[in-house]
Chains A and B, each alone.
Chain A
């Protein structure tokens, strides 16, 4: 469990890519205040998922509009699933880990 970013770095409803030990993680701050993290690279054609639009459930890749469930990483449009990472907010820091 460790801090990977400050909540103030991610505007409400958007995502940012953060590098953790050489891995690229797209971290999203949902409009209900919670955070989610998934692998940053779209398995379809390598699009930057942190640039996608989100709601409380899904992220839409900006390149070809494929969608993934932010909580499970499951594809919602027939692509491969993506890895999810456990994240939560502690004070104003985003923590990675259970």
Chain B
């Protein structure tokens, strides 16, 4: 028999939980009880209904037909009076009783009405002209009454009070907001932000705001005529709206002997303490001491409860929500998360205020992580801040980036203003319209949209715009992709965890990793795993060639027509007449379509068919220059002190030595290096993954994390050292640290700021963690394992390793022995 699920409460929490249960295919006989006579509506939108910008019909989330369509029995206008926990029944006001197997309490909360003299009239409820602001009926009554009156006072300067004040302005000319605390929205905002909000609201909306105003009496005999404050002031009015906060509706639960403090006490599965079959969600629930009054925690709770009840994940747990809010309060953008004031002496606080424009921004950082942020009047950075806050991301070194978009065209565009046909991803030609329609078709993760459309999958510079478009198109319903933190998409683990598991189980091949950790083989994960295993196991790595990308299978870079480019090693960009002559001869003999100088100071032979690669390598008889792998690529140098009249260090000799030592080392991304003989930087060392600059006095500066591709970044100074040997050692140690800790395809320009240059310097230069010797030893092992891959020419690693795959011409049919 199907289990009977009874839900007390038909508000946002109750209905959302039921939706989540249905979405998981939960098979229950569902009965819902609602106090109000309607289907389920979006309470947050009531302020829009009050303001007249939204129609009543527009705020319904589920109308009555939804209940029928899903086989849900809805008892609207029916209040539950009591639960019998032992008989497992609920009793309604109208005398009916309903049995349950599982019970969800989602009774929400009600307006808190302070005991102010004159607020009630005996036998009549509220005094005439006094309203609470909580339900659709409250809203309707308020609109009807306000239309025929002149002056309103709103009691309460929190979110709800501000919304009520703005809404009332649509119906009568004078609105005064009276707030007992010293500044508006004092739960969410600090004093300065609250003051800014007050100034903006008074100037922009013409609402009069009184703070430090304790209401002591509601005046008027038959109807309201004014309110009296503690300082004796009287504000004349004919409408009073009370928006002084909310209280959980938990009396019924308390009367039924359930544990109630500020709300109904629940555990991490939203189960009422000490009960087996009773749950509570939403504003009526108290979880780990918190009672939430916002919608986001409620969504989280509903998901956990649905996972648990349907058995999709019986062990799902809710661990509380980091409350971050972004709202338009009475027409003013406000966002707040975490701390509103610093608490410790060493909390970093950044504040920016521009009162004339109504802008206030405040950011609080603790131990390098975002601990709180407040934005008033300008919330452009809110998406970024919320993400940093939720996930505890490392923050940009330039703290100003937390508050402003500094440079870069990406930050300037407003996605809502972009035309649909505007090309967002210039590598793969994806328009805003395509991204939006992908979101509308149900794909609501950034990575999912990127996979489907290929937007952001080229050079990657447009990723932030793609993300913002997805967020905008999904209307704040972006789903987090758990895979974003995985090292590769097919194994659900971040890199450190993955490396531990690989070590623990001694997994030495890519197929072994899938078998043990991933379940199913995943083409998109193979290359990253192959790189990681090679780095971890060195000579013990079991090399499965199918785990390699084609470039790594044939040691050349695939070109648009399926041919390959061949770049022989040319250490430090220094060559000889003999080498040039040999390259020229080979190019002529094989009729190489293009011979090109590369940006890495080498010579590229382009257009070589796959089947001719071994022959070309043999004729060249030079080692590979690794112009194809996620590996150590080149060391670009300038002519240095031997010839240049400005050179202060022998950059060519050092460049050659670096390349000699670290040639072919594979890593999570390409590693491009340079050594330049003086700070004029002819070899562009400041914008390399690792760049070395000779300075006067026989010293060398080492910069890391530079880039000059789609992303341009000047490297950070890691260290200044006194000898070439030290440069070579630190280079190896830094590269090894990068290899072990960077995410797959994370170049140093992202890795270095993520870890922070100071932290990297501690580890790599100062050896604060005591791992320098280990890093050096691991790098040394990799260096010793080096073997020129172009030696594959003598003995192919697999059958048909160099067989053409590109049908430029019709191939002869493969003869098969009968």
Binding site for B on A (CB under 8 A): 3-6, 8-20, 22, 24, 26, 31, 40-41, 45-60, 62-67, 77-78, 93
Contacts and interface: CB of A to CB of B under 8 A. Distances in A.
A11 B803 CA distance: 12
B562 A31 contact: no
Contact of B523 (A3, A11, A55, A93): A55
Interface of B: 428, 451-454, 457, 511, 520-524, 526-527, 544-547, 549-551, 553, 558, 560-562, 798-800, 803-807, 810-814, 816-818
A68 to B, nearest CB: 11
B454 A78 contact: yes
Contacts of A24: 807, 810-811
A14 B801 CA distance: 10
B813 A20 contact: yes
Dominant secondary structure at the A interface: mixed
Given A9-B814, A45-B560, A59-B523, A53 B428 contact: no
A6 B547 CA distance: 22
Contacts of A15: 805
B814 A60 contact: no
A65 B544 contact: no
Contacts of A93: 816
9 contacts: A13-B544, A13-B546, A19-B810, A19-B814, A24-B810, A40-B807, A62-B558, A63-B562, A65-B457
Contacts of A51: 550, 553, 558, 562, 805-806
Nearest to B804: A17
Dominant secondary structure at the B interface: loop
A64 B805 contact: no
A80 to B, nearest CB: 14
A5 B816 contact: yes
A36 to B, nearest CB: 13
Residue of A22, A55, A60, A63 ringed by the most chain B CB atoms within 10 A: A55
Residue of A4, A20, A78 ringed by the most chain B CB atoms within 10 A: A78
A64 B428 contact: yes
Nearest to A13: B546
Given A6-B816, A63-B558, A16 B523 contact: no
Given A4-B814, A48-B805, A62 B549 contact: yes
Given A16-B800, A40-B805, A56-B520, 15 more contacts: A4-B816, A9-B799, A9-B814, A11-B545, A17-B811, A18-B813, A19-B814, A53-B526, A53-B550, A55-B523, A57-B523, A59-B523, A63-B560, A64-B454, A78-B454
Contacts of B560: 45, 63
Contacts of B524: 53, 60, 67
Given A16-B805, A17-B807, A54 B813 contact: no
B552 to A, nearest CB: 10
Contacts of A31: 511, 521, 546
* Closest 5 pairs between A and B when the two form their complex, measured CB to CB: A13-B546, A48-B805, A24-B807, A50-B805, A19-B811
A13 B818 CA distance: 25
A14 B798 contact: yes
A93 B817 CA distance: 9
A51 to B, nearest CB: 4
B806 to A, nearest CB: 4
A58 to B, nearest CB: 6
Contacts of A59: 523
Contacts of B803: 16-17
A19 B812 contact: yes
Contact of A53 (B457, B549, B806, B814): B549
A59 B805 CA distance: 14
Contacts of B816: 3-6, 93
A4 B558 CA distance: 27
A18 B816 CA distance: 12
Nearest to A31: B521
A40 B804 CA distance: 11
Given A19-B807, A41-B807, A53-B546, A77 B454 contact: yes
Contact of B814 (A5, A26, A66): A5
Contacts of A45: 560
A77 B452 contact: yes
Contacts of B561: 46
A22 B817 contact: no
B799 to A, nearest CB: 6
B806 A17 contact: yes
A67 B818 CA distance: 35
B546 A52 contact: no
B547 A13 contact: yes
A50 B561 CA distance: 14
Nearest to A3: B816
Contacts of A16: 800, 803, 805
Nearest to B434: A78
A18 B810 CA distance: 9
A46 B561 CA distance: 7
A45 B559 CA distance: 11
Given A11-B799, A16-B800, A54 B805 contact: no
Contacts of A58: 523
A49 B807 CA distance: 11
A48 B806 contact: yes
Contacts of A9: 799-800, 814
A47 B806 CA distance: 7
A13 B529 CA distance: 15
A17 B805 contact: yes
A10 B453 CA distance: 32
Nearest to B524: A60
A87 B454 CA distance: 31
A62 B550 contact: yes
A41 B803 CA distance: 15
Nearest to A17: B805
Contact of A11 (B451, B546, B811): B546
Given A12-B546, A13-B544, A93-B816, A48 B800 contact: no
Nearest to A79: B454
A56 B816 CA distance: 26
A13 B803 CA distance: 16
A76 B651 CA distance: 49
Contacts of A4: 813-814, 816
A26 B805 contact: yes
Contacts of A14: 545-546, 553, 798
A53 to B, nearest CB: 5
A23 to B, nearest CB: 9
Nearest to B526: A53
Contact of B522 (A11, A47, A52, A55): A55
A14 B798 CA distance: 10
A24 B524 CA distance: 25
Contacts of B550: 51-53, 62
A11 B817 CA distance: 18
A47 B816 CA distance: 27
Contact of A55 (B520, B544, B798): B520
A71 to B, nearest CB: 14
A52 to B, nearest CB: 7
B810 A22 contact: yes
A70 to B, nearest CB: 10
A11 B553 CA distance: 12
A12 B549 CA distance: 14
A58 B300 CA distance: 34
A65 B817 CA distance: 36
Residue of A10, A15, A47, A56 ringed by the most chain B CB atoms within 10 A: A47
B443 to A, nearest CB: 11
Contacts of B521: 31, 55-56
Contacts of B807: 17, 19, 24, 40-41, 48
A96 B122 CA distance: 91
Contacts of A52: 523, 550
A46 B520 CA distance: 29
B562 A48 contact: yes
A22 B546 CA distance: 27
Contacts of A22: 810
A19 B813 contact: yes
